[in-house]
Structure 1
Amino acid sequence: MAAPLLLGAGALAAPRATADTALSSAFSVTGQNPTIINRAEWGADESMRRGAPFYDKGIRAGIVHHTATTNDYAPTDSAGTVRSIYDYHTRTLGWGDIAYNALVDKYGQVFEGRYGGMTRAVQGTHTGGFNQNTWAVAMIGNFDEMAPTPAQLRAVGLLFGWRLAMDDIDPKGSVQLTSEGGPYTRFAQGETPTLATIFAHRDVGPTACPGGLGYGCLDRIRDTAAHFDKPASSADLADSMRGTAIYTRWQAMGGMAGALGAPTSPETPGAGSARYVTFDKGAMYWSPSTGAAPVTGAIYDAWATLGFERGALGLPTSGEIQEPQWIGQNFQHGTLNVDRGSGLVTRVMDGIPVTLPPPSPDGPPVQLERFSPARNRV
């Protein structure tokens, strides 16, 4: 069964972004419940929706779709795309609501789809003849000539794993479904094809959806779904970073064998637009204005006691600077310098040096977000 959901519990939860900001995805590795951008957060106009949701008795299979929209979009564009699809399905096609149960963009952001509850068996209008007892996820983009991104595939697989586990469905199994018939399926009413428990729209309908290159990723989606509740390994965490500035800088430093060692967390939002990953021997922080910079050793410990990026120094803007008598590192609002002889750390801000007390024997504090169970919520 799926792990229990934590619905916003805990006073240390990081604030959520509004619909058109760069929304974070904390659903990039195994062992986590999803952070889902709900309808209010992506800006659903509920006055457009018609009728109450219809609930099936349970979910027996998941169906993969694509939206056939552009692949060229920024993280901040995705909520608007979801709103446009909602408008088209509701006002133009007359379906009363958005067709899919969930949508996932190329950055791994997960959006709530059809109204009625992500943990309930809400019947959609996504797959002609096979809307009953199925749960549909649409990948935002067109995958006829371009493959889905690793982040997108990972999020889709983990999302299916999370949702299908609620109904004890094996993501790599098979199921016999009864066709409802109609003009949008190749199976007449009453036919009972045997299908994979995660199948594609094209498997039952006269369509190319989810595109040739999307269809070729189904086994990867199934494999990810089958392992969604397994603790993430360092390899899983490394894979979840691929394509990011933090990953590129970490690889340039030697990756697993480098100064930071193996990752110990997925990429996580920090203060403002900052993001970070923790490693065995430190951390890497990134923001649009500072780029990706590592922090390790005594400088990392001292910076942590000062409040990480929320402290007076702000984010790191360089790596360590090696000098004969000291090791330094630049931050947005000053520097930290370690005396090679004494090991003492000096903070310099506005030209004023202040020697910091030795670190606590209990070690440095842990980032706020590491204590935030509310991040795993719907």
Structure 2
Amino acid sequence: MPFTLGGAAVGGVLTGPAPARAEPARSVGAIAADQPVNIITRAQWGAGESMRRGAPLYGNAVNAGVVHHSATGNDYTPRDSAAIVRAIFTYHTATLGWGDIAYNALVDKYGQVFEGRFGGMTKAVEGTHTGGFNRNTWAVCLIGDLDKSAPTPPQLRAAGQLLGWRLALDGVDPHGTVRLTSAGGPFTRFAPGATPTLPTIFAHRDVGDTDCPGNAGYAFLGRIRDIAARFNQPPTIQDLADSLQGGAIYARWQAMGGINGPLGAPTSPEAPGAGSTRYAIFSHGAIYWSPASGAQPVIGAIYDAWAILGYETGPLGLPTSAEIQEPEWIVQNFQHGTLNVDRQSSAVVSVIDGQTKAVPPPPAGGPPTQIERFSPARERNV
């Protein structure tokens, strides 16, 4: 199915209804401490560098970020996004003759971030995204038609963190303003030499004759600025809750009452465990997910005992049920056995392959934590 960019049809993109997501949303977080999101490089998304023309142009610094939307379809899967970026690249390069993709970065509705124009993400590369105001600005394109649908929470979070990181490299306050000089031209309302004062994160429509990034996208500019302003600060409870939206872990937490339920508030973003396991930690426990086990909560004494035994890498494997309340015991099923709490003594007993064994209580400092999963850099990138 072709999609439309700027009134022209571009074909060859694999689009279709996004499947119902049975797995948790992938966290966009967590690589180097100085970069807030994983960035899919040009080589990784398949930029045809032989098609690119001309050397990159550089400004003096990045003084503002500009938010766009692609005006393409919204029904795409995570696997479609790279093909959409390649199609935009081909359209901008071969059809419009711009020499390269217009934007400095692109963000899909799943929070995947794609490197845009060639020349270096940390440099003031001049794009062809915002007529009259391409120099000393840095453009992020939200993939989709944001006249028809609002940007998703992962998309907003990734775009905000990306802009916060990039503007911070040049000491720019995401909540500030800046005076920019118009280069004029047919794609802006400002004559050459005009110096409008603009937010340091503004929209394409603020300077051009366009509705980009769509009415629904434009309504969220304040949210993007807020996220950008605190990209390197510890996440709030709301940040963490937002980061879980869209997946099975969030759905299970909500079904249990959310922040008012037995698990309480989230205290970590979602993270990878062993194999295909994903998990998130809450004030009073955790939820673990895998394709085989689904999303299951672990809390209280059973959570502590399971931690002592090695979490999902221990002999029990992953939980396959929540707690089961019996008259004398609290029981929870795991892939290779059960954990059982005696209601009278609070002792915990494991049953693995028919063998019953007492689980020692946690040490004074609490159960073991697998530190390698949650570095400070990983925790801040929600």
Same fold (TM over 0.5): yes
Aligned residues: 353
Instruction: Report the counterpart of residue 124 of structure 1 in structure 2.
Output: 127
- The alpha carbon displacement at 1:114 in A equals 1.8
Q: TM-score when scaled to structure 1?
A: 0.84
Instruction: Report the counterpart of residue 254 of structure 1 in structure 2.
Output: 257
RMSD: 2.6
Instruction: Report the counterpart of residue 226 of structure 2 in structure 1.
Output: 223
Quick one: structure 1 residues 136 and 235, their matched pair in 2 at CA, closer, same or farther if it must change by over 3 Å? same
Write the distance in 2 (CA, Å) between the matches of 1:102 and 1:48: 18
Does the alignment pair 1:369 with 2:373?
yes
- Kindly provide the CA deviation profile for residues 205-245 of structure 1, in whole angstroms up to 9, marking residues without a partner as x: 22221111111211222222223233222233223323333
Instruction: Report the counterpart of residue 69 of structure 1 in structure 2.
Output: 72
> What amino acid does structure 1 have at the position aligned with 2:193?
G
2:42 to 39, 44, 47: 39
Write the distance in 1 (CA, Å) between the matches of 2:59 and 2:97: 21
> What amino acid does structure 2 have at the position aligned with 1:231?
P
Does the alignment pair 1:327 with 2:309?
no
- Kindly provide the CA deviation profile for residues 239-280 of structure 1, in whole angstroms up to 9, marking residues without a partner as x: 332333322222222222321112111122333333221111
Does the alignment pair 1:194 with 2:209?
no
Write the distance in 1 (CA, Å) between the matches of 2:45 and 2:286: 31
Quick one: structure 1 residues 170 and 44, their matched pair in 2 at CA, closer, same or farther if it must change by over 3 Å? same
- The alpha carbon displacement at 1:300 in A equals 1.5
Write the distance in 2 (CA, Å) between the matches of 1:95 and 1:120: 19
SS in 2 for 1:221: helix
Instruction: Report the counterpart of residue 14 of structure 1 in structure 2.
Output: none
- Kindly provide the CA deviation profile for residues 78-124 of structure 1, in whole angstroms up to 9, marking residues without a partner as x: 23322322233233333232221111111222222222222221111
SS in 2 for 1:164: helix
Instruction: Report the counterpart of residue 263 of structure 1 in structure 2.
Output: 266
> What amino acid does structure 2 have at the position aligned with 1:284?
I
SS in 1 for 2:119: coil
Contact 2:27–2:270 at 8 Å: present in 1 too?
no
Write the distance in 1 (CA, Å) between the matches of 2:152 and 2:275: 25
1:133 to 133, 136, 153: 136
1:91 to 94, 98, 118: 94
Contact 2:233–2:380 at 8 Å: present in 1 too?
no
Contact 2:66–2:201 at 8 Å: present in 1 too?
yes
Q: Which has the higher contact order (CA 8 A, sep 6+)?
A: 1
Contact 1:23–1:76 at 8 Å: present in 2 too?
no
> What amino acid does structure 2 have at the position aligned with 1:185?
T
Gaps of 5+ in 1: 1-21
Instruction: Report the counterpart of residue 316 of structure 1 in structure 2.
Output: 319
Write the distance in 2 (CA, Å) between the matches of 1:207 and 1:350: 66
Q: TM-score when scaled to structure 2?
A: 0.83
- Kindly provide the CA deviation profile for residues 293-316 of structure 1, in whole angstroms up to 9, marking residues without a partner as x: 111122212222333233443322
Write the distance in 2 (CA, Å) between the matches of 1:304 and 1:45: 48
- Kindly provide the CA deviation profile for residues 321-356 of structure 1, in whole angstroms up to 9, marking residues without a partner as x: 112232221223332223334544333344444444
The runs of at least 4 aligned residues of structure 1 exceeding 6 Å deviation read: 374-377
Instruction: Report the counterpart of residue 9 of structure 1 in structure 2.
Output: none
- The alpha carbon displacement at 1:165 in A equals 1.7
SS in 2 for 1:213: helix
1:195-210 map, 5 Å:
195-210=198-213
Instruction: Report the counterpart of residue 290 of structure 1 in structure 2.
Output: 293
Contact 1:24–1:109 at 8 Å: present in 2 too?
no
SS in 2 for 1:284: strand
Quick one: structure 1 residues 315 and 48, their matched pair in 2 at CA, closer, same or farther if it must change by over 3 Å? farther
